[in-house]
């Protein structure tokens, strides 16, 4: 058993993915692996694809690298998020709150969503995070009071990718990372016979400097400046035009984003501190040359690790920022890379396993996105047509049939996410779990009525999101001595 | 909805108990047909920790159940002579050591063992150390996280468990009928089974039939011809001979599986006796020789005549076909090397409860229920198969024809990949839906001497002196906890689970 001698990893990009990856690697890599960060001066515009939304596990992910919630609240425009409020979506102009939530309470071993079918009620009325988000209120879920319905809520963050990049960069151990602020102008392929599948020999910077590394980590965004030179396997599924702007506001918006469907696509509003970040997505048939914005191909590569190059986040895939999928996948990319840091120069095993997990994650995240469009016929979303998919068919047919949430290994979106989405889109199972019959109908109805009223009452008693943030900031400033 | 369960062994009565408890409002009648003249196989007397959820779901009191089934606690399985002759290790229920710096402890141990004697994996699992000292305590009584980081299951008399559940189910309204099926009536248009005819002329009609008739698969195979996927090329053992023997010595809270030249032998200590069996491949050993090997390796005198069992490893093409659901051996067979027989019954029942068919359309007409059930069960069986096969191929043994067969075998890609990744860097390819999580794979791979070439490089980022101290502290913590734990037999008495029955002795 031996570990390799000194080696060097090179990360390329000026993106959220780059700063998070460099920070994670700098904390995890053993000393014999040196880290080089080649960072172009201009930030990458494709960071808009994060939609400014993290999943709830961002809290712990950040914390393990020293980035705390108080820091994000005090030093950036970060706000809290219970999820995304969809409006006018699809054929029936559906509106629902796609909230974050811990596993639903079960009664007699039967999950809550089956009782929604049985009692013909609306799932969102029983989810405190949905209720609070719609009312514009927020409070941290208590960790010491499991009896409180709020303890089942989960929250993520609304964030500005450039600001978060700055915070992650600030936490870098400068002794572990060599930063070079330049662009890579070209790369040279290795011509060794063993590297016939695509391998970088060296990269050349704008000033002519040549840099060699054992592993190149491409975080250059959708331009995929390294990985795309090694393989050309990007499968484009849709082309869209994405534009974005920021609008200042007198007070911070609610603890949720809003996505509003329209004739040609949809519009996203992400509330940051005293401003809204507004993203507009237009499907390709409706885009015009004169429109501003980024023309993007949505889809993914079949291999994110080719030879000695790994593409992280948008260098390997591009998802519309409809859900937190772009953030979730970024986090998974980093975790997958850390688990598979090469132990020798022969990285065939690492790349093979990385790509297997990568494809699973991307395909499973895509299922969730596809599910937003499945079954729409007459609305703007009719233009979003995906090929038939066996896994999605199983998920949709099992849910419609009897409320079964068919699952696959380690999906990025959990059963609650799926149940909320199905309910939001008006998918009502034809049947429910038969074990629900063990629970007396009237007693359950009384319990549900009380739950519903309790949720509404609690949500209305919680403070408005903007006030909560202001008071929290004041408290944190006092506590931490921030100015 | 009328349900008929065919077969009254462990599978039949577990199914009857669960359906009568969980779906009593929607099932009009549950009839279980069994015959005293057809002996049950009494599949694996050892279980996995999941069985506790099953019992809890039925509201069964642990002490009462253990007392009536002569049950003992099970902390894992000791595997002897698998990696090499003379080797032994325990596959416990639970993890090893504590995560350091976000990295699983076994990765740190891979580094530690390169630099000296820091114990073996077994020293870092409370369940294993307790098992080897014949001690037991409940996880919640541990005084530190490490002393709580284990699971437990039971070893019990499967016949008594079936009897126990029979009483439970019949109290819940299940009707038991004595009889042997002599004919099956089929609806010509749908192909569904509409009724079975018994040897006394009785006809039992039902909407849904659950085939727990064992290897024969009276309904799923003999009637509906589901077809069988034969996995003998990977798991070729096809015979077993079983015999109980007198129990001697301290009461062990673990099962033992000892590799033999043409198979392996199990030893399962119960309160009143010890269960034993020899699973073997008839290609390389005769029935008489296999029986002789078994009888020579008992703790005490045999308590009955050895009983021969014949099987073919694999599974039905359809666990659920038309209106027949096969549970237990009727659905498939995997040798009980990892005590999965009862567990796979439980999986079948749990999935059936969740996917229990509606009256309209008929249970057979709904292809979605069947498709989901079959997909879930197929995945379970395949993942257990790979794990069992690992035991046979992660070995240096070549002292018999059977071991040489395994050393030349082409493995399923899924397993080959797992082994390659492990050997390269101690990486465990995980899944979410399956019975055996990474610690189980690690226990067997390291226990059978598959030493990775490399460890996770992130381990080198942690201070080595501190690592050594932490490892020592873990071992001490576990040893202290085990010292304070009760003797297994005393624990059973203390919680009122001791059967107090006389140890069974052979007739002189």
Task: Check residue B470 and give its pLDDT.
Answer: 96
Confidence at residue A382, expressed as pLDDT on a 0 to 100 scale: 52
Determine whether the interchain pair B369/A401 forms a contact, defined as Cβ–Cβ distance below 8 Å. Answer: yes
How does DSSP assign A275-303, residue by residue? EEEEEEEEEGGG--TT--SEEEEEEEES-
Q: Least CA distance to A1: which residue of chain B? A: B453
B33, two tokens: 């047909």
Return the residue of B nearest to A24 by Cα.
B458
Cβ neighbours around B472 below 10 Å, total: 12
Asked if residue B45 has pLDDT above 90, the reply is: no
Distance from CA of B346 to the nearest CA of A (A): 15
Do β-strands A94-99 and B181-186 pair in parallel, antiparallel, or remain unpaired?
unpaired
For chains A and B, count residue pairs whose Cβ atoms are closer than 8 Å.
100
N-terminal to C-terminal alpha carbon distance within chain B: 53
Contact A433 B354 (CB under 8 A): yes
Confidence band of A383 (pLDDT split at 50, 70, 90): low
Q: Which residues of A touch B446 (CB under 8 A)?
A: none
What's the average model confidence in pLDDT over B52-68? 96
Per-residue model confidence (pLDDT) at position A380: 53
Using pLDDT thresholds of 50, 70 and 90, give the confidence band for residue A4: low
Segment B89-113 shows an average pLDDT of 96
State whether A404 and B429 contact (CB < 8 Å): no
Quote the minimal CA–CA distance from A339 to chain B in Å: 7
CA of A391 to nearest chain B CA: how many angstroms apart? Answer: 12
- Return d(Cα B51, Cα B214) in angstroms, integer: 20
Which residue of chain B is at minimal alpha-carbon distance from A7? B457
Residue in B26, B455, B461 nearest the CB of A1: B455
Q: Per CATH, which fold does B2-45+157-230+313-383 belong to?
A: FAD/NAD(P)-binding domain (3.50.50)
Q: Are B340 and B17 in contact (CB under 8 A)?
A: no
Task: Report how far residue A327's alpha carbon sits from residue A314's, in angstroms, rounded to the nearest whole number.
Answer: 10
Instruction: Provide, as residue numbers in chain A, all residues whose Cβ is less than 8 Å from the Cβ of B424.
Output: 343, 349
Which pLDDT value is given to residue A265? 93
Mean pLDDT of the region B342-371 = 88
Q: Which residue of B has its CA nearest to A407?
A: B433
Q: Give CA–CA dist B408/B49, Å, rounded.
A: 34
Q: Given this model, what pLDDT does residue A2 score? A: 45
Average pLDDT over residues B365-375: 91
Residue in A1, A349, A409 closest to B420 by CB: A349
Considering only CB atoms, B457 lies closest to which of A341, A404, A433, namely A341
**Residue A483 pLDDT > 80, yes or no?**
no
Mark yes or no for CB contact A437/B26 under 8 Å: yes
Q: Residue A285 in contact with residue A383, Cβ under 8 Å? A: yes
Q: How many CB atoms lie within 10 A of CB A469?
A: 21
Q: How far B314 CA sits from the closest chain A CA (Å)?
A: 23
* All domains in chain A, ordered by first residue: 7-434 (3.50.50.60)
Chain B interface disruption, residue of A339, A434, A440, most B CBs within 10 A: A434
Predicted confidence (pLDDT) at residue B143 exceeds the cutoff of 80: yes
A30 closest CB neighbour out of B24, B452, B461: B461
pLDDT band at B43 (very low <50, low <70, confident <90, very high): very low
| pLDDT tens by residue, A285-314 | 776 665 678 899 999 999 999 999 999 999
| Residues of B in Cβ contact (< 8 Å) with A109 | 22, 57
- State how beta strands A234-248 and A294-301 pair: antiparallel
The span from the CA of A456 to the CA of B505, in Å, is 68
Interface contact flag, B421 A349, Cβ < 8 Å: yes
**Residue of A30, A398, A438 lying closest to B457 (CB–CB):** A30
pLDDT confidence of residue B500: 83
Q: Determine the pLDDT at residue A188.
A: 94
Pairing label, strands B324-326, B320-321: antiparallel
Write the ipTM: 0.93
- What beta strand segments (E) does B116-245 contain? 135-136, 153-155, 175-178, 181-186, 193-198, 203-205, 208-211, 228-230, 239-245
* B155 or A146, higher pLDDT: B155
Name the residue with tokens 């008071």: A471
Whole-number Å distance between alpha carbons of A409 and B454: 27
Query: Annotated binding site for L-tryptophan: which residue ranges of B?
Result: 338
Mean pLDDT of B95-100: 96
Structure tokens at B322: 């038309």
Query: How far apart (Å, rounded) are the C-alpha atoms in residues B137 and B249?
Result: 20
For the record, the structure tokens of A78 come out as 């970060």
- For residue B38, what is the DSSP state? S
Q: A408 contacts in B (CB within 8 Å)?
A: 433
User: Is the CB of residue A104 less than 8 Å from the CB of residue A416?
Assistant: yes
| Alpha-carbon separation of residue A304 from A218, A309, B79, B184, B326 (angstroms) | 10, 8, 41, 56, 43
Give the percent of chain A with pLDDT over 90: 84
Determine if residue A293 is left, alpha or beta; phi over 0 gives left, psi from -120 to 50 gives alpha, anything else beta: left
Cβ contact A1–B26 (<8 Å):
no
Catalytic residue status for B321: no
φ/ψ (deg, to 5) at A330: -60, -45
Q: Which of B457, B459, B460 to mutate to test the interface with A (most CBs of A within 10 A)?
A: B457
Would you state the pLDDT for residue A310? 98
Residues of B in contact with A410 (CB under 8 A): 430, 432
Mean pLDDT of B72-79: 98
Q: C-alpha angle with apex A229: A228 to A232, nearest 5 degrees?
A: 55
Q: What is the mean pLDDT of chain B?
A: 95
Tokens standing for B235? Answer: 């798991």
Is A2–B454 a contact, with Cβ atoms under 8 angstroms apart? Answer: yes
Percent of residues in chain B assigned helix, strand, coil, to nearest 5: 40, 20, 40
Residues of B in contact with A433 (CB under 8 A): 354
Instruction: Identify the active-site residue in B67, B74, B321, B418.
Output: B74
Confirm if A20 and A334 have CB atoms less than 8 A apart. yes
Nearest chain A residue to B102, by CA: A64
* Measured CA angle at A480 (ends A477, A482), to 5 deg: 50
Annotated binding-site residues of B for FAD read 8-11, 181, 329, 342
Domain with CATH 3.50.50.60 in chain B: 2-45+157-230+313-383
pLDDT in tens, A210-243: 999 999 999 999 999 999 999 889 999 999 999 9
- Residues contacting residue B493 through CB under 8 Å, at least 6 positions apart: none
Q: What is the separation of C-alpha B18 from the centre of its chain, rounded to a whole number of angstroms?
A: 19
Residue B158, SS3 per DSSP: helix
In sequence order, which residues have a C-beta less than 8 Å from that of residue B221 and are 6 or more positions away?
Answer: B227, B228, B316, B330
**Residues of B comprising the binding site for 7-chloro-L-tryptophan?**
74
Question: Which residue of A lies nearest to B112 if distances are taken between CA atoms?
Answer: A1
Contact A431 B358 (CB under 8 A): yes
Asked if residue B223 has pLDDT above 70, the reply is yes
- Chain A residue with CA closest to B461: the answer is A30
Question: In this predicted structure, what is the pLDDT of residue A1?
Answer: 41
Which residues pair with residue A179 across a beta bridge? A37
CA dist A336 and A28 (Å) reads 13
pLDDT at residue B4 is higher than 60: yes
Share of chain A above pLDDT 70, in %: 95
Which residue in A has a C-alpha nearest to residue B432's C-alpha? A409
With a cut of 70, say whether residue A482 has pLDDT above it: no
pLDDT digits 0-9 by tens, A416-471: 999 999 999 999 999 999 999 999 999 999 999 999 999 999 999 999 999 999 99
How much is the pLDDT for B140?
Answer: 97
pLDDT-based confidence at residue A385 (cuts at 50, 70, 90)? low
A contacts of B367 (beta carbons < 8 Å): none
Residues of B with CB under 8 A from a CB of A: 22-26, 57, 102, 110, 114, 353-356, 358, 366, 368-369, 371-372, 375, 420-421, 424-425, 427, 429-433, 451-461
How large is the C-alpha radius of gyration of chain B?
A: 23
Asked if pLDDT for residue B241 goes beyond 70, the answer is yes
Tell me which chain A residues have a C-beta less than 8 angstroms from the C-beta of B114.
1
Cα–Cα–Cα angle for B380, B388, B71, rounded to 5 degrees: 85
For B178-222, how does the pLDDT look when each residue is reduced to its tens digit (9 = 90+)? 999 999 999 999 999 999 999 999 999 999 999 999 999 999 999
Residues of A with CB under 8 A from a CB of B: 1-3, 27-33, 64, 109, 338-344, 349-350, 353, 394, 397-398, 401-402, 404, 406-410, 431, 433-435, 437-438
Q: Which residue has the higher pLDDT, B500 or B247?
A: B247
Residues 6+ apart with CB under 8 A from A120: none
Burial A68-77 (b: 16+ CB within 10 A, else e): ebebbbbebb
Asked if A41 and A67 touch (Cβ cutoff 8 Å), the reply is no
Cα A103 from chain centre:
19
Distance from CA of A3 to the nearest CA of B (A): 6
Q: Map tokens 């939609």 to a residue.
A: A51
Q: How many Å lie between the alpha carbon of A131 and the closest alpha carbon of chain B?
A: 30
Rounded distance between C-alpha atoms, residue A134 and residue A128, angstroms: 10
Are B317 and B228 within 8 A, CB to CB?
A: yes
Q: Please provide the average confidence, as pLDDT, over all residues in chain A.
A: 93
Query: Residue A409 and residue B433: Cβ atoms within 8 Å?
Result: yes
B368 closest CB neighbour out of A29, A32, A397: A397
CA dist., res. A84 & res. A418, Å (int) = 14
> Using the beta-carbon criterion (under 8 Å), do B24 and A407 form an inter-chain contact?
no
Q: Where are the beta strands (DSSP E) in B216-369?
A: 228-230, 239-245, 255-260, 263-269, 274-280, 307-310, 314-316, 320-321, 324-326, 332-333
């Amino acid at each position: 058993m031996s570990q390799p001698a000194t080696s060097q990893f090179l990360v390329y990009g000026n993106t959220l993915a780059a700063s998070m990856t460099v920070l994670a690697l700098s904390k995890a890599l053993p000393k014999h692996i040196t880290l080089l960060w080649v960072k172009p001066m201009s930030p990458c515009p494709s960071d808009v694809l994060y939609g400014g939304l993290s999943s709830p596990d961002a809290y712990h992910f950040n914390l393990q690298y020293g980035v705390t919630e108080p820091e994000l609240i005090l030093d950036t425009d970060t706000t809290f998020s219970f999820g995304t409020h969809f409006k006018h979506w699809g054929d029936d102009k559906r509106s629902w709150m796609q909230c974050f939530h811990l596993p639903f309470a079960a009664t007699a071993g039967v999950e809550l969503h089956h009782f929604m079918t049985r009692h013909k009620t609306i799932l969102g009325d029983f989810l405190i995070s949905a209720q609070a988000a719609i009312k514009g209120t927020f409070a941290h879920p208590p960790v010491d009071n499991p009896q409180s319905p709020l303890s089942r809520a989960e929250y993520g963050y609304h964030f500005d990718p450039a600001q978060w990049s700055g915070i992650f960069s600030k936490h870098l151990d400068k002794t572990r990372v060599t930063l070079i602020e330049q662009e890579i102008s070209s790369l040279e392929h290795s011509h060794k016979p063993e590297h016939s599948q695509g391998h970088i020999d060296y990269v050349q910077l704008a000033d002519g400097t040549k840099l060699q590394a054992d592993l190149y980590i491409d975080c250059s965004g959708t331009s995929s400046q390294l990985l795309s030179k090694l393989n050309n396997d990007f499968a484009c599924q849709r082309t869209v035009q994405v534009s974005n702007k920021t609008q200042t506001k007198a007070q911070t918006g609610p603890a949720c984003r809003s996505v509003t469907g329209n004739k040609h696509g949809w519009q996203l509003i992400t509330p940051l501190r005293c401003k809204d970040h507004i993203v507009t997505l237009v499907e390709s048939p409706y885009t015009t040359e004169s429109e501003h914005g980024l023309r993007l191909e949505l889809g993914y590569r079949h291999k994110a690790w080719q030879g000695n190059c790994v593409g992280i986040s948008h260098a390997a895939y591009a998802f519309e920022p409809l859900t937190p999928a772009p953030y979730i996948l970024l986090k998974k990319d980093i975790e997958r890379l850390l688990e598979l840091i090469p132990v020798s120069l022969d990285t065939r095993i690492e790349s093979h396993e990385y790509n297997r997990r990568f494809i699973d994650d991307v395909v499973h995240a895509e299922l969730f996105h596809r599910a937003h469009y499945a079954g729409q016929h007459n609305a703007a979303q009719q233009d979003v047509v995906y090929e038939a998919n066996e896994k999605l068919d199983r998920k949709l047919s099992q849910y419609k049939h009897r409320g079964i949430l068919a699952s696959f290994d380690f999906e990025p979106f959990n059963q609650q996410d799926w149940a909320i989405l199905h309910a939001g889109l008006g998918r009502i199972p034809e049947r429910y779990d038969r074990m629900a019959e063990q629970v007396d109908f009237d007693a359950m109805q009384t319990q549900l009525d009380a739950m519903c009223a309790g949720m509404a009452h609690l949500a209305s008693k919680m403070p408005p999101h903007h006030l909560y943030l202001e008071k929290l900031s004041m408290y944190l400033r006092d506590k931490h001595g921030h100015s | 909805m009328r349900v008929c369960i065919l077969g009254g062994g462990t599978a039949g009565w577990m199914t009857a108990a669960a359906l009568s408890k969980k779906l009593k409002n929607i099932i009009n009648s549950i009839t279980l047909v069994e015959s005293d003249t057809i002996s049950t196989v009494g599949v694996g007397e050892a279980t996995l920790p999941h069985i506790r959820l099953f019992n809890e779901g039925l509201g069964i009191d642990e002490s009462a159940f253990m007392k009536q089934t002569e049950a003992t606690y099970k902390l894992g399985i000791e595997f002897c002579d698998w990696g090499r002759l003379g080797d032994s290790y325990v596959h416990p229920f639970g993890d090893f050591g504590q995560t350091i710096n976000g990295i699983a402890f076994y990765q740190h141990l891979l580094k530690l063992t390169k630099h000296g004697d820091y114990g073996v994996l077994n020293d870092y699992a409370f369940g294993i150390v307790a098992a080897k000292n014949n001690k037991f305590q409940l996880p919640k009584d541990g005084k530190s996280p490490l002393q709580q980081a284990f699971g437990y299951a039971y070893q019990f008399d499967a016949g008594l468990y079936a009897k126990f559940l029979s009483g439970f189910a019949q109290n819940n309204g299940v009707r038991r009928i004595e009889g042997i099926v002599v004919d099956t009536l089929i609806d010509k248009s749908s192909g569904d089974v509409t009724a079975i005819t018994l040897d006394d002329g009785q006809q039992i009609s039902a909407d849904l039939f659950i085939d727990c008739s064992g290897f024969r698969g009276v309904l799923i195979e003999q009637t509906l011809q589901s077809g069988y996927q034969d996995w003998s090329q990977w798991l070729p053992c096809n015979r077993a001979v079983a015999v109980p023997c007198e129990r001697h010595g301290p009461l062990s809270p673990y099962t033992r599986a000892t590799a033999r030249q043409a198979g392996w032998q199990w030893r399962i200590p119960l309160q009143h006796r010890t269960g034993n069996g020899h699973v073997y491949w008839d290609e390389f050993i005769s029935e008489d020789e296999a029986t002789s090997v078994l009888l020579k390796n008992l703790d005490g005198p045999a308590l009955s005549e050895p009983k021969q069992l014949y099987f073919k490893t694999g599974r039905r093409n359809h666990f659920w076909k038309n209106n027949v659901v096969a549970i237990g051996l009727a659905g498939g067979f995997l040798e009980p090397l990892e005590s999965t027989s009862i567990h796979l019954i439980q999986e079948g029942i749990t999935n059936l409860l969740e996917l229990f068919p509606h009256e309209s359309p008929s249970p057979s007409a709904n292809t979605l229920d069947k498709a989901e059930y079959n997909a879930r069960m197929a995945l379970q069986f395949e993942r257990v198969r790979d794990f069992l096969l690992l035991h046979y191929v992660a070995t240096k043994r070549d002292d018999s024809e059977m071991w040489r067969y395994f050393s030349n075998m082409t493995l399923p890609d899924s397993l080959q990949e797992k082994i390659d990744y492990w050997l390269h860097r101690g990486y465990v390819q995980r899944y979410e839906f399956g019975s055996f999580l990474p610690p189980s794979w690690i226990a067997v791979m390291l226990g059978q001497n598959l030493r990775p070439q490399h460890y996770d490089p992130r381990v080198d980022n942690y201070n080595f002196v501190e690592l050594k101290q932490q490892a020592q502290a873990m071992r001490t913590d576990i040893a202290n906890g085990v010292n304070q734990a009760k003797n297994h037999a005393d624990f059973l008495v203390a919680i009122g689970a001791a059967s107090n029955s006389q140890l069974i002795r052979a007739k002189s």
